[in-house]
Structure 1
Amino acid sequence: MTTSTDPQAYLAAVVGRLTGPNAPFELVEEDVRGAQMPVMRHRNHAVHELLTASRAYGDRDYLVTETRRMSFTEHADAVAALAQALADEHGVGVGDRVGILAANTIEWVVAFWATQSLGAIAVGLNGWWVPREIEHGVGLTTPRVLIADAKRAAVLAQTDVDVPVLTMEEDVPRLIEAHRGAELPTADVSEDDPAVILFTSGTSGKPKGALHSQRNLLAVVDYHRYNDALLDAFAGREYDPARPSDLRYLLTSPLFHIASLHNLVVPRLATGSAVVLFEGAFDVDRVLALVEREKVTNWGAVPTMAARLIEHGNVRKYDTSSLTAFALASAPSSVAFKQRLRDEVPFAKDSLVDSYGLTECSTGIAVASPMDVQMFPGTLGRPIFGVAMEIRDPFGEPVADGDEGEVCVRSPYVMLGYWDNPEATASSIRDGWLHTGDFGRVDDGRLRLTGRRSDLILRGGENIYPTEIEQCLDEHTDVVECVVVGEAHEDLGQEVAAIVVVRAGATVSEEELRAFAAERLSYFKVPTRWRLTTEPLPRNATGKVSRGQITF
């Protein structure tokens, strides 16, 4: 048998061997919550099944930090103990919410898996929220218990939240020790039962909780397993699902985002890979020293982190030869920026990947390979395995290739909906298709975005909707009206800018408004550019502010 020298033909043959009848990733058409779509025949049906299977990886590294190391066995033991404590002492069971509010740490991961073993819903609260935002998130999801680090526990003490709080520094280790030796609970859950709530900003001005199912997380796991199988095929190895992966993944983004939780911590428990978890504020030297020490092979970073690498100017003093996969995610970056990154950062030259995804989709929608980044600059690649994507006009009809429209997707990765928000869910998911609110076009199968969710600001990987900030500023007695927009920023992608119309005779200053906002909003939402005026904002015929006419 001869092997085709045509890369596309060879790829098609490999995909056929992996996804055809009786193959490890055989695809079949099934009904998923009322919509027919391809799913994998051989799949798990409960997230906690991954925990039970992970014991087979024994003493291999699962979680690694600068100062700690936890094997798969140690992790499974800790999860079983904490799960038993949550059930016995706090009554946590199937469908209950468990809030997690903390910076990246091993205990965050253990708390997440303990929740999954009980069939409860892990609520990843944004660790950068201020008290008012925390009150909203907790009030919306009504967790039975909150697990927080000491810093966030102190913030919780300043709120009206009336929920038991367990600290990661004292309570979690105490509970694990008290219940050491417990058997891992295995709750009875179905594929489309909820598993996780992660927050995404909403146009209503309040963060919305994207509700992900057991199926969503497990489909993401199978997507990553499939990618590993593709790598094996191209390396000339036979795929063996029982063989642990020797890849080592660097985690630098917050665990309350899908990039770190759904697409790193969860699938790597299933593949036996090490997760090298960076703790604390991003620091290039500490990160690269960790890459060198732990022989990191894969890293997904937000563009702001990549910009720090360029600014560092001395990346080459570290041995990063192990790093062969480097991806940009969570925020857009320019063609010029990606080229500069490839030119100035050695490990990005031949490995840079770009992607497009949403919290609502659990994982990426489209991925641009290193070849796409180099040969088709500005595109975000083709839809990933399992994603059906259409570009639709305002009437919901698909448009021709090359025409602009709204990006709509259907897949087993798409969320169940927004927690306790049926109106927003019905608006976003129609007939099984998620309407992203993003606009783009498809050229030769590759997606190119032309507009991001109308008014959305993307600052350093964080999604910011102006409405929330505008509503906050409107609370100030000297503010008549205001508009918040995103302004281009070389490092962060965009920065938050505010034009504020103040009442006649008011003496309020930019500094006062900044302090007012900082008390009510996360630091990354507080405007860094301001213009105070007494002139009314420009509006269109329907009375809406004409953001396109807003300039500094």
Structure 2
Amino acid sequence: MTREKFMTTISFVRAGAALSLGPGLGVHPERQAVPIAPGRRAAPAPGLHDALRERARAAPEATAFYFIDTDERLSTLTNAALLAHARAAAGALARRGVGSGARVLLSFATGPDVVVALFGCVLLGAVPILLEPPFASKRALSWRSRAAAILRGAGARALIVEASLHEQAETVARGAAAPPVLVPADLAGSDDFDDEPAPAPDALAFIQYTSGTTSEPRGVMVSHRALLANARGIGEISGYREGELSLGWLPLHHDMGLVGVVLAPFLHGLPVALLPPLSFVLRPQRWLWAMHHLRGALSPAPNFAYQLCLGKIGDDQLAGLDLGAWRLAYNGAEFIDAGTVAAFRRRFGPYGLPARSVHPVYGMAEFVLAATFPAADSEPRVDFVARERLNRDGVAAPVAPDDPAALAFVGVGRPFPGHAMKIVDAAGVALPERVQGQIVLRGPSLTEGYVGDPDASAAALRDGWLCTGDLGYVADGELFVTGRCKELVVKAGRNYHPQALEAAAGRVPGARAGCIAAFGEYDPADGTEAVVVVVETAETGRDALARLARAVERAVLAETGLRPDRVVLVAPRSLPKTSSGKLQRLEIRDLTRADRLRDLMPRDA
């Protein structure tokens, strides 16, 4: 049966009119009556398998997913249609020899097809692995390389890809164990698949490949037990309410996109709205107007996204915007800048953004997603500490907010009930409050380890604790993240956090905030590290570039007490990032060392 025929027999998606995500847009008819006032708490289902079937039974015509594509066309998928198509997808996989426990690689742009394939795996009991599709032809080679590595490493038994990737996926499959390659049309057919029993709690729910900011990407194994524990914790601390909508543009191969936007809310019976990542990057206001149109209550994003909204959206693009339903604007997945948090609240407060909506959080794929959350109704807490004490002794000594030598760190809350956290030194000994060390975590959200990499698993999981590689300290029971262990800049015996240097440089006009990397490069002549700051800029001309370099030096010195030894100015989109948008500092350091980044500023300037 062709996909076109299938779509006429079972409504795949309900197509709506094209939107205009900007001034003049009203509220979607289905979302107009949703109350903003606190209502009934949403209870989690026992698992994804049960949630999918129960939602289709209890409310078959209710919308499970809203999709807004890059052309701003809206479509919806009901609970009944989702179950029917997931059954068809599961049956298509089963007919090709894929069974419960088998690993399946999915590579799609954000849209209905990836959701159907994902939940087809859920019904079958298969283990999905989501891989970012290439967004440009020049990235096709890296996609094939990564797909081949995942096939080999994870032992995937099938590939499901969007139609445009079929030929490339066939090439990858022939180079591996020749697993079947399917496209969306192959998943269409009868929905008479007999559901497999719900997987055991210790069975794998999915495999999440990490972004690879400081190492090669690794496949994090996430069990159903861990997923449910994390989703319950998120829902409990966030206070999910019946009828609230989760909305996001983050890619689903990223843990914040997959779990934070989709799976945790879905397990609690909440509808989900998805935008493609490119839609946000091209026009950040689309995110805010989608929240307005669908009365979104829950939406996560990394810090750079909030900064992008501040810098790229003009007041004329906000007329009539109402963000009053946005109860929790989660900020996580990368270092959180206190200035960005404050500026976002100021800028969008007049557009209805609740004063306590900005919600700094901390987590990683090895803990499913979330490790610490603040209380849902709390104000973001900013801790001001003495720069010199932290850099020299690792002590976070409080100082006044207006102290010119203060460093500002944002609180990211406490562990979920049943989970634990501590700060340890290099020997693993627990440290007292306000002493910086490595963050380690324990609890039912913990990963099973890395696929096919027992050495990396043993290094990360020690005596039941996850060694995160992140630095932080605890004050009054709340966690403050300060940086990465491997990325500290050591200058004259003092430790400096690259995020602080980057944030200072990012406030200089002409520098592209979020596209700046700071690192140390050992200088044998001085016997210490030279501090290098690499800055993307659209500036051109020798004089303008020279002024920018000097301004960056002054700004970094004024805010951190450390003068960069070298400022490298590069063109926009020069710096490598992970698939989730995080800067790869160590790779940038290596590229700079090898003189493979084109410095716009002549060395003799």
The normalised TM-score by structure 2 is 0.65
Q: 1:396 to 1:274 in 2, by over 3 A?
A: same
- Gap change, CA 1:382 and 1:456, over 3 Å in 2: same
| Partner Cα separation in structure 2 for residue 280 and residue 324 of structure 1 | 22
Q: Which among 102, 108, 114 is matched to residue 108 of structure 1?
A: 114
Is residue 367–residue 380 contact of structure 1 (8 Å, CA) maintained in 2? yes
Paired position in structure 2 for 1:493: 514
Residue 81 (structure 1) aligned with residue 88 (structure 2): yes
Superposition map of 1:416-495 within 5 A: 416-455=448-487, 490=506, 493=514, 495=516
The answer to whether 1:273 aligns with 2:270 is yes
SS at match of 2:52: helix
The answer as to 2:147 corresponding to 1:134 is yes
Q: Which amino acid letter does the alignment assign opposite residue 248 of structure 2? A: L
| Pairing 1:1-400 to 2, within 5 Å after superposition | 44=46, 47-55=48-56, 56-66=58-68, 67-88=74-95, 90-127=96-133, 130-153=143-166, 155-156=168-169, 159=172, 160=175, 162-168=178-184, 170-171=185-186, 175-176=187-188, 178-180=189-191, 182-187=192-197, 189-201=199-211, 205-227=215-237, 230=239, 245-281=242-278, 282=280, 283-311=283-311, 312-314=313-315, 316-317=318-319, 318-346=321-349, 347=353, 349-369=355-375, 371-374=378-381, 376=383, 378-400=410-432
Structure 1 ranges of 4+ moved more than 6 A: 497-501, 514-518, 520-524
Tell me how far apart the structure 1 counterparts of residues 521 and 381 of structure 2 sit (CA, whole Å): 42
TM superposition shift of 1:204: 8.4
Change (3 A) 1:495 1:326: same
What secondary structure is seen at the aligned counterpart in 2 of 1:92? Answer: coil
Following superposition, the deviation at residue 494 of structure 1 comes to 5.1
- Of residues 116-125 and 46-55 in structure 1, the stretch that sits farther from structure 2 once superposed is 46-55
CA distance in 2, matches of 1:197, 1:494: 29
Matches within 5 A, 1:521-540: 527=588, 531=592
TM-score when scaled to structure 1? 0.71
Aligned-pair RMSD on alpha carbons? 3.8
2:89 partner letter: L
- Residues 306 and 341, structure 1, Cα contact 8 Å, conserved in 2: yes
**In the aligned structure 2, how far is the partner of 1:326 from the partner of 1:141?**
34
For the 8 Å contact 2:48–2:267, the answer to whether it is kept is no
Offset, 1:344:
0.9
Displacement after TM superposition at 1:303 (Å): 1.8
| 1:127/1:527 CA distance change after superposition, 3 Å | farther
What's the % identity of the aligned pairs? 24
CA distance in 2, matches of 1:313, 1:332: 25
Distance across 1 between alignment mates of 2:196 and 2:60 = 20
Q: Is contact 1:48–1:186 with CA below 8 Å preserved after alignment? A: no
SS in 2 for 1:373: coil
C-alpha separation in 2, matches of 1:267 and 1:521: 22
Deviations 1:418-445 (A, max 9, x none): 0111111111112221111112111100
Asked if the contact 1:65/1:276 (under 8 Å) is kept, the reply is yes
What is the match of residue 492 of structure 2? Answer: none
Change (3 A) 1:262 1:366: same
What is the deviation of 1:275?
0.5
Q: Higher mean Cα deviation, 486-495 or 213-222?
A: 486-495
Name the SS of the counterpart of 2:438 in structure 1. Answer: strand
Q: Is the partner of 1:83 in helix, strand or coil?
A: helix
The 3-state SS of whatever aligns with 1:449 is strand
- 2:160 is paired with a residue whose SS is strand
- Would the alpha carbon gap of residues 189 and 274 (structure 1) be closer, same or farther in structure 2, given more than 3 Å must change? closer
- Superposition deviation, residue 321 in structure 1: 2.6
Specify the alignment match of 2:15 in structure 1.
none
Q: Which residue identity is paired with 2:346? A: D
Equivalent position amino acid for 2:99 in 1: G
Secondary structure of the structure 2 residue equivalent to 1:408: strand
TM-superposed deviation, 1:404: 1.9
- SS of alignment partner, residue 333 of structure 1: coil
Structure 1 distance, partners of 2:197, 2:76, is 28
Query: What's the CA shift string for 1:209-264, capped at 9, x where partnerless?
Result: 00000101111232244246x466xxxxxxxxxxxx21011121111122121233
Q: Is the 8 A contact 1:96 1:144 kept in 2?
A: yes
Partner of 2:529: none
Q: Which moved further from structure 2: 391-400 or 353-362?
A: 391-400
Q: 2:30 — aligned with what?
A: none
Q: Could you report, residue by residue, the CA deviation over 1:492-511 in whole angstroms, capped at 9, with x for unpaired residues?
A: 5354589999xxxxxxxx9x
Query: What is the deviation of 1:192?
Result: 1.0
Structure 1 residues 115, 307: closer, same or farther in 2, change over 3 A? same
How far apart, CA to CA, are the structure 1 residues paired with 2:479 and 2:207?
Answer: 28
- Structure 1 residue runs without a partner (length 5+): 1-17, 19-23, 26-41, 233-244, 458-485, 502-509, 535-552
- One-letter amino acid matched to 2:325: S
CA distance in 1 between counterparts of 2:422 and 2:271 reads 36
CA distance in 2, matches of 1:165, 1:212: 24
- The letter for the 1-side match of 2:260 is N
CA distance in 2, matches of 1:494, 1:107: 32
Q: CA 1:532–1:429 in structure 2 vs 1: closer, same or farther (change >3 Å)?
A: closer
Deviates more, 1:249-258 or 1:382-391: 382-391
For this pair of structures, how many residues does the alignment match? 441
Displacement, 1:203?
Answer: 8.3
Cα distance 1:62–1:382, how it changes in 2: closer, same or farther (>3 A)?
same
In the TM superposition, what is the alpha-carbon distance from 1:364 to its structure 2 partner? 1.4
**Rounded Cα–Cα distance in structure 1 between residues aligned with 2:434 and 2:54:** 46
**1:494–1:194 Cα change, 3 Å:** same
Distance (whole Å) between structure 1 residues aligned to residue 574 and residue 170 of structure 2: 21
Three-state SS of the structure 1 residue aligned to 2:487 is: coil
**For the structure 1 residues 415 and 337, does the alpha-carbon distance in structure 2 shift closer, same or farther, using more than 3 Å as the test?**
same
SS of 2:372's equivalent in the other structure is strand
Deviation at residue 70 of structure 1 after TM alignment: 0.6
Cα distance in 2, alignment partners of residues 205 and 225 from structure 1: 31
